[in-house]
Amino acid sequence: MKATDQEISRRTRRSFLTGGIAAAAGFGTWYWIRNSFDDNGIPRPLRRAEEADDVFSRALFSETRLAKTFDAADIGEARVNGKIGLDGEPNSDWKLIVEGASPVSLDQIKALPKVEHITQFKCIEGWNYIMKWGGARFSDLARAHAPSGAIEKRWAGLETPDGEYYVGLDRASAMHPQTLLAYEMNGLPLTNDHGAPLRLMIPVKYGIKNLKRIGKITFSDSRPRDYWAENGYDYDSGF
């Protein structure tokens, strides 16, 4: 066998061996993750990675950092996505339940200072659209209608009237100046598909946090449950 042929054969065997070791290591890592103990249905290593992402995201977050706003000419067509918690029509006597306080009517929410902004709604699936939203700041609602001391709590939880969909927000995100309890889209009342009569609009979070048809708000020092965090997504879901 020529020297060049011997060298090619040697390198081929080494490449094959290296590739085999890499494949075995990859399979071993996958098998380890797949068979690790679950943490609320998610393999523990993946859950730890998500928690690390949450810590990093919160460390970068600032209540003074605003999401980009756009001009009216940038407004596009809204995409309908997600039906969880939206079965049927909203009750004609709808009121927002604020735990520890009296129910709040839509008229009471509309009596708060109205805020409008044109921002980008980003879905974790990769698509987005730009819309004009109108409503009251979450922070104004909390100061006006939440029980004493609620706004100092570390967490806020929101859920649909039927309890089928629910999200949790850290205090800084909930009290962010662009976080709205929106009752209008492009100057018109919300449609049922977009969460009538009241939805959360928080442009510094992905769409999975933007709860439609809010029925109840709670404040606590323990982290509330979150629908998509229980299904494998980051709890924070910011960008």
Say which residue, 25 or 113, is predicted with more confidence: 113
Is the confidence at residue 56, as pLDDT, over 50? no
- Read off the pTM: 0.77
Confidence (pLDDT) at 38? 63
Mean of pLDDT values over 17-44 = 55
Q: How confident is the model at residue 21 (pLDDT cuts 50, 70, 90)?
A: low
Name the least confident of 14-23, 144-153, 198-207.
Answer: 14-23
Q: How far is it, in rounded angstroms, from Cα 17 to Cα 124?
A: 39
Q: Tokens at residue 38, please?
A: 């679950």
Mean pLDDT in the chain?
85
Q: How confident is the model at residue 183 (pLDDT cuts 50, 70, 90)?
A: very high
Q: How many CA atoms lie within 13 A of 58 on its CB side?
A: 16
Question: What percent of the chain lies above the pLDDT cut of 70?
Answer: 74
- Length of the chain in residues, anyone? 239
Q: What's the pLDDT tens digit per position in 69-101?
A: 999 999 999 999 989 999 988 888 999 999 999
Q: How confident is the model at residue 65 (pLDDT cuts 50, 70, 90)?
A: confident
Contact 69, 132 (CB under 8 A): no
Name the least confident of 9-13, 22-26, 111-115, 155-159.
Answer: 22-26
Confidence (pLDDT) at 91? 85
